[in-house]
Amino acid sequence: MLARLVVASLLALCLPVATAHAQSSLVVSVWGGNWKDTVERVIGKAFTAKTGTPVEFEVGGTIDRLAKARVAKGSPLVDITFTTSHVGRLYISDGLFAPLDMAKLPNAKEAAREAVRSEYQVGGWSYVYTIVYRPDLVKEEITKWSDLWKPSLKGKIAMPDFDPSHIITIAALMEGGNEATWQKGQERLKALKPSIVAFYSTDAQSQDLMKTGQAPVQVMLSVNAYHLQEQGIAVKLVQPKDYPGVVGIDCMSVMAGTTKADAAYQFINLALSKEIQTELAKALKAGPVNGGATVPAAFHGQPGIFLTPAEWKERAYIVNDEVRAKNLPAWREWFTANIVK
Amino acid sequence: MRWLLTPAVLVVAVFAAALSALLRYSVLEFVPGSLVTGGLTVANFTGIMSRQYLGAVWDTVLLSAATTALTLVASYPVAYVLARTPSARVRSALLVLTLAPFFTGAIVRTYAWVLVLGNTVVTWPIPMLFTPRGVLVGLVHFSMPTMILLLAAAISHVDPVYERAAASLGASPARVFRRVTLPLSMPGVVSGSVIVFAWTLSAFATPELLGGGRVKMIANVVRDLALDSFNWPGGAAFAVMALVVTLGLLAGVGRLTAIADRGP
């Protein structure tokens, strides 16, 4: 009771300021750094030019923003939230997202079927977790997931410890299972343990490990690998021949209780247009969700870039969001106890 | 005049609210894949009584004790020279070197250690980065400036007359240090050790960056549970347990200090 009283008092002190500030603007919640800069430059400016409504941003980590949204439930401080598709499930579980009225999103008709993640979430862009390596430090060519188990890669691999769902899913697929029957891949994953030199908790750590050569082979976000290439680090992204890369889709949702729902729909609809999707793909080095977007020729067929239904089907493995959200705590606990330690 | 207490009451209320929220969450049922919690349960506490989580507490206590001991040993000579050197130039140089780390963030310093420990600058005979050894190095470096300043303040209060008297009576330099300087500087040793031990118990950034996910201290496990597994009740339960362990350890250290102060 005391906790609620103090939190309510603090919010009461803060809310009038925030509300007054954001009254005339559309407020978008998104990750910081390049994500926010790109959304602001590519979608925000075009939206303001078209509607006259300014856009403000609330930036933060995935869970920071979730925690804030929860505290402000019913009177959201933001109107639109960008988050990963499986974390979106947590928002949905607490009634923080409003169901999407697809009639107000005509551009969603052009979106890939895979991009409409639920009745609350529509994708903004896609990427893939795949194998990325430095050919100057790893002489043997890597072409498939099973190559990670080669003895020559002992002590060279890094992968995320905050979300092992990608490698757990791949190991399960290799043993004839999937994310729902992930236990099938446990023994195979244990065999990979000697090859892992480090686990990273952030994208920045992952990139540092690659730059310094501490971990020249990684299960890595394709977007980060393209970013490293831009910085002059010669990394190679693998389009695995045996099993697809594990896809991530960052989604947009309208917050339940927003008073600016119309503007929010206009923003999301604009973000789904061919033109904006083209710019987003160029800026983020991510895949557009609108197949009509024009992507630079060099990007065609690259990991994380899916332009046709056939490409989505052949080169993308999408983990079931609900299974992922439910299993992630168990996956992390098992992974930490058996692989990390 | 009672209104002057208002700020203090507000601060206490905020801390009490945060703590009560933590306690409340620790006994609510975790529902995987949902933010909505279930009813009252002790399952969060039984869940963290596994080797994995208790191991993190044990590792934290060991690393904190080792950090405290190594920091003390490494800092004492520097503090002694800082307090006793007759050269103003040497004192200034040492002071600047001691204070310099305060002007760079902990993250920057730790990233520098990633490069040093990672065989990119020096080739180590044994693996250092992503091992408890590497984390220990980072924690000692992080703690040294504070320890040096506390020890230097304590040593500067030891009148050199006592050391000269002992030496004039035939005591060797080592004996003078063991029987005179060290006992008289114990207030600095104790306060420095307690502070370093206490803050190392809650270390986060150093094990996060230098541990490479393999070395987990209490704060890292709380973060993992709450932010990566979305298990807020589990994270709260682990934080409550860590709080109890920390308070118990600090109470023990305080008790030992009081006994030492009373003397034999």
Predicted local distance difference test score (pLDDT) of residue A1: 45
Q: Within a domain: residue B170?
A: yes
State ipTM. 0.71
Query: Rounded distance, CA B126 to CA B107, Å?
Result: 24
Q: Within a domain: residue B97?
A: yes
Q: Within a domain: residue B21?
A: no
The percentage of chain A sitting over the pLDDT mark of 90, rounded to a whole number, equals: 74
How confident is the prediction for chain A on average, in pLDDT? 91
Query: Rounded distance, CA B234 to CA A110, Å?
Result: 42
CB contact under 8 A, A3 and B34: no
Confidence grade of residue B107 (pLDDT, cut at 50, 70, 90): confident
Range of the domain at B222: 43-262
Q: Which domains does chain A have, with CATH numbers?
A: 2-126+248-317 (3.40.190.10), 127-247+320-340 (3.40.190.10)
- For A292-339, how does the pLDDT look when each residue is reduced to its tens digit (9 = 90+)? 898 888 888 899 999 888 899 888 999 999 999 999 999 999 998 899
pLDDT at residue A14 greater than cutoff 80 = no
Q: What is the DSSP string of B228-246?
A: IS--HHHHHHHHHHHHHHH
Chain B residues with CB within 8 Å of chain A CB:
13-14, 16-18, 20-21, 24, 30, 32-36, 50-52, 55, 111, 114-115, 118, 120, 129-130, 208-209, 212-214, 216, 224, 226-231, 234
Q: Within a domain: residue B251?
A: yes
Q: Within a domain: residue B149?
A: yes
* Higher pLDDT, residue A52 or A163: A52
Predicted local distance difference test score (pLDDT) of residue A9: 52
Q: Within a domain: residue B33?
A: no
**Joined tokens for residue B108:** 């920057």
CB contact under 8 A, A328 and B229: yes
Predicted local distance difference test score (pLDDT) of residue A34: 86
CB contact under 8 A, A90 and B18: no
Question: Which residue, among B208, B225, B229, B238, would best test binding to A if mutated, counting the most A CBs under 10 Å from its CB?
Answer: B229
Contact of A319 with chain B, judged by CB distance below 8 Å, is answered with no
pTM of the model: 0.79
Q: Within a domain: residue B15?
A: no
Q: Tell me the average pLDDT across B135-154.
A: 96
Nearest of B47, B11, B13 to residue B30 by alpha carbon: B47
CA distances in angstroms from B100 to A2, A43, A173, B109, listed in the order given: 43, 44, 52, 11
pLDDT at residue B139 greater than cutoff 80 = yes
A147-151, B51-55, B193-197, B231-235: least confident range? B51-55
Number of domains in chain B: 1
Q: Which residues of A touch B51 (CB under 8 A)?
A: 337
Predicted local distance difference test score (pLDDT) of residue A2: 45
> The tokens 């959304």 sit on which residue?
A39
Confidence grade of residue A210 (pLDDT, cut at 50, 70, 90): very high
Q: Which domain CATH number covers B110? A: 1.10.3720.10
Confidence grade of residue A229 (pLDDT, cut at 50, 70, 90): very high
Nearest CB partner across the interface for A90, out of B34, B55, B208:
B34
Q: Within a domain: residue B83?
A: yes
Query: Rounded distance, CA A4 to CA A13, Å?
Result: 14
Q: What are phi and psi of B119, to 5 degrees?
A: 65, 20
**H-run or E-run covering A74:** none
Nearest CB partner across the interface for A336, out of B21, B30, B52:
B52
CB contact under 8 A, B34 and A161: no
pLDDT at residue B79 greater than cutoff 90 = yes
Contact of A68 with chain B, judged by CB distance below 8 Å, is answered with no
- For A51-110, how does the pLDDT look when each residue is reduced to its tens digit (9 = 90+)? 999 999 999 988 889 989 988 998 999 999 999 999 999 999 999 999 999 999 999 999
How confident is the prediction for chain B on average, in pLDDT? 91
The percentage of chain B sitting over the pLDDT mark of 90, rounded to a whole number, equals: 68
Contact of A330 with chain B, judged by CB distance below 8 Å, is answered with yes
Predicted local distance difference test score (pLDDT) of residue B263: 56
pLDDT at residue B44 greater than cutoff 60 = yes
CB contact under 8 A, B229 and A329: yes
**Joined tokens for residue A279:** 């710019």
Question: Which residue, among A93, A137, A210, A321, would best test binding to B if mutated, counting the most B CBs under 10 Å from its CB?
Answer: A93
Nearest CB partner across the interface for A212, out of B115, B216, B229:
B115
Query: Rounded distance, CA A76 to CA A70, Å?
Result: 9
Predicted local distance difference test score (pLDDT) of residue B227: 85
Q: How far is A209 from chain B (nearest CA, A)?
A: 9
